């Protein structure tokens, strides 16, 4: 299940060099990673909206540049299948991939399809009409975003959606205009019949039950912990920045998963490293530091990857960005690279938003695969001008 707060933080990351440290890092942990996101290493997880990883099958399902979905092998990047019948992966359940499809001619229609994991063939299709003014495009528009998510609730698949409209104008917005306008809804997907029916949002909230041991649940209820920690193997773990300036460091707090008994804390890094991100599957933590500039004018950063279960550093690798959303599969590091201009001998080359895979033993790049960038990249009204109303349904 993706995290809207995480998506908004990613958008802000593009403007702030991708750095999360100190208080901001703690806010990231609190806002995005609750108990409903915790799972074992073998379970599928959302690497980012529209990119789902299946560790058991060693397959990544992601939005492609043509508006469809590609299924890739994790180790080689080999294409297993591709389909144009759906646009955005939402959830894996059993042998099915639940995905959002697009219908540009009917922007208010939310279309959901289920795909066979082995072949990508369509098994069922369903649709539901959303309220007037809501647009279901996977791509963000001028001041608008539509986010669909899916979760399994008591053996039922629930698709929730959020449509947000923000003021876009060249002048300072008034108090009412400054507040984004949001509409939300949900629908239940019947996997047998392929039908969608409206579903109360409050019934989704009721389905999230904490399975924390009583000792850890008490820490959360008394706010000694600001949020439920991650379940990683046989422990629950929580990373907490401490100290300031030269005394800055990050402490890994741990508890036994069966009893909630406190385990020894581990200091992950000193002040030469800046904490960046937890991995998408919550098994590792990334800290990095600037190491220099190459002869090709690229900046090198040393990435240090720590196990959230033990606190041990598991790998080091040099990358040309301070941090990125990532996960580790075996000895391979898979991470996101934002669209960027790369220097070459006779100028610059534009690189698209991509997944990049590196062998942690040799630092050799294994494969790269671009995927769909859904952020709005169009123009904005000039400063001092009037507001711009998005087209209906966008």
Domain residue limits at 272: 214-363
How do residues 187-224 score in pLDDT, each as one tens digit? Answer: 999 988 889 999 999 888 665 446 789 999 999 999 99
Coil/strand/helix, residue 390: coil
Quick one: 220 and 191 in the same domain? no
pLDDT band at 384 (very low <50, low <70, confident <90, very high): low
148: β partners: 161
Length of the chain: 394
31, 8 Cβ separation under 8 angstroms:
no
Q: Are 196 and 238 in a shared domain?
A: no
Query: What is the SS3 assignment for 73?
Result: strand
User: 26 in a domain, yes or no?
Assistant: no
In a domain, residue 220? The reply is yes
202 and 224 inside one domain? no
> Are 238 and 126 contained in the same domain?
no
Q: Cα–Cα distance between 68 and 82 in angstroms, integer? A: 7
Q: What is the mean pLDDT of residues 269-277?
A: 79
Look at residue 376 and tell me if it is in a domain. Answer: no
Q: Please tell me whether residues 285 and 338 are part of one structural domain.
A: yes
Total domains in the fold of the chain? 2
Instruction: Dump pLDDT digits (tens) for 281-334.
Output: 999 999 898 888 766 667 889 999 999 999 999 999 998 889 999 999 999 999
Confidence band for 183, pLDDT divided at 50, 70 and 90: very high
DSSP 185-203: EEEEE-TTT--EEE--HHH
From the list 152, 277, 238, 210, the residue with the least C-alpha distance to 35 is 210
Local confidence band at 174 (pLDDT 50, 70, 90 cut-offs)? confident
With respect to residue 98, please indicate whether it lies within any of the assigned structural domains: yes
109 and 57 within one domain: yes
Whether 354 and 337 have beta carbons less than 8 Å apart is answered as: yes
Do both 338 and 236 map to the same domain?
yes
Indicate whether 35 belongs to any domain: no
**185, 206, 227: which is the final residue of a domain?**
206
Question: In this structure, how many other beta carbons lie within 10 angstroms of the beta carbon of residue 21?
Answer: 17
Asked if the model's pLDDT at residue 64 lies above 70, the reply is yes
Say whether both 112 and 185 belong to one domain.
yes
Average pLDDT over residues 28-33: 37
- pTM value > 0.75: yes
H or E stretch at 28: helix 22-32
Where does a domain end: 206, 237, 268?
A: 206
Contacts of 259 (CB under 8 A, 6+ apart): 213, 215
Are 197 and 59 part of one and the same domain? yes
User: What CATH number did the domain enclosing 348 receive?
Assistant: 2.40.128
- Angle 198-200-203 from CA coordinates, rounded to 5°: 135
Q: Are 316 and 342 in a shared domain?
A: yes
Distance of alpha carbon 330 from alpha carbon 170, whole angstroms: 49
Do 61 and 201 belong to one domain? yes
- 180 lies in some domain: yes
Q: What is the pLDDT of residue 34?
A: 35
SS3 69: strand
Better-scored residue on pLDDT, 351 or 80: 80
pLDDT of 18 over the 50 cut: no
Strand pairing class (181-189; 196-198): antiparallel
Please give the angle made by the CA atoms of 98, 104 and 107, to the nearest 5 degrees.
80
The number of angstroms, rounded, from the C-alpha of 58 to the middle of its chain's C-alpha atoms is: 18
Q: How many CB atoms lie within 10 A of CB 198?
A: 9
231 to 43, 194, 234, 334, 359: CA distances (angstroms): 12, 33, 7, 21, 26
Q: Are residues 55 and 166 in the same domain?
A: yes
Last residue of some domain: 148, 182, 206? 206
How far CA 5 is from CA of 63, 83, 118, 121, 389, in Å, comes to: 20, 29, 32, 32, 25
CATH number at residue 142: 2.40.10.480
How, if at all, do strands 230-232 and 196-198 pair? unpaired
Contact 158, 199 (CB under 8 A): yes
**d(C-alpha 2, C-alpha 33), whole Å:** 10
Examine residue 241 and state whether it is found in any structural domain, yes or no: yes
């Amino acid at each position: 299940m993706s995290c809207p707060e995480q998506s908004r933080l990613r958008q802000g990351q593009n403007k702030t060099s991708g750095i999360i440290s100190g208080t901001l890092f703690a806010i990231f942990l609190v806002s995005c990673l609750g108990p409903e996101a915790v799972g074992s290493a073998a379970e599928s997880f959302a690497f980012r909206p529209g990119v789902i990883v299946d560790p058991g099958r060693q397959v990544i399902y992601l939005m492609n540049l043509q508006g469809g979905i590609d299924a890739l092998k994790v180790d080689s990047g080999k294409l297993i299948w591709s389909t144009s019948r759906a646009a955005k992966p939402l959830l894996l359940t059993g042998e099915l991939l639940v995905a959002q499809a697009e219908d540009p001619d009917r922007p208010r229609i939310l279309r959901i399809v289920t795909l066979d994991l082995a072949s990508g063939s369509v098994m069922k299709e369903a649709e539901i009409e959303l309220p007037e003014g809501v647009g279901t495009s996977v791509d963000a528009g001028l001041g608008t975003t539509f986010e669909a998510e899916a979760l399994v609730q008591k053996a039922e698949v629930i698709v929730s959606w959020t449509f947000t409209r923000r003021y876009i104008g060249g002048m300072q917005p008034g108090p009412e205009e400054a507040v984004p306008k949001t509409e939300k809804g949900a629908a239940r997907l019947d996997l047998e019949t392929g039908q969608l029916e409206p579903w109360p949002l409050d019934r989704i909230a009721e389905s999230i039950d904490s399975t924390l041991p009583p000792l850890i649940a008490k820490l959360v209820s008394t706010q000694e912990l600001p949020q439920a920690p991650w379940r990683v193997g046989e422990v629950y773990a929580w990373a907490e920045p401490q100290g300031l300036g030269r005394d800055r460091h990050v402490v890994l707090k741990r508890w036994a998963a069966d009893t909630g008994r406190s385990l020894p804390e581990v200091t992950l890094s000193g002040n030469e490293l800046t904490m960046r991100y937890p991995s998408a599957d919550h098994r590792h933590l990334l800290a990095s530091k600037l190491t220099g500039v190459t002869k090709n004018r690229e900046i090198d950063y040393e990435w240090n990857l720590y196990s959230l279960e033990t606190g041990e550093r598991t790998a080091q690798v040099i990358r040309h960005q301070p941090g990125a959303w990532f996960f580790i599969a075996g000895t391979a590091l898979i991470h996101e690279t934002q669209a960027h201009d790369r220097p070459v001998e006779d100028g610059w080359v534009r690189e698209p938003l991509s997944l990049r895979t590196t062998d942690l033993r040799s630092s050799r790049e294994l494969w790269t695969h671009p995927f769909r960038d859904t952020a709005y990249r169009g123009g904005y009204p000039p400063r001092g001008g009037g507001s711009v109303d998005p087209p209906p349904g966008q």
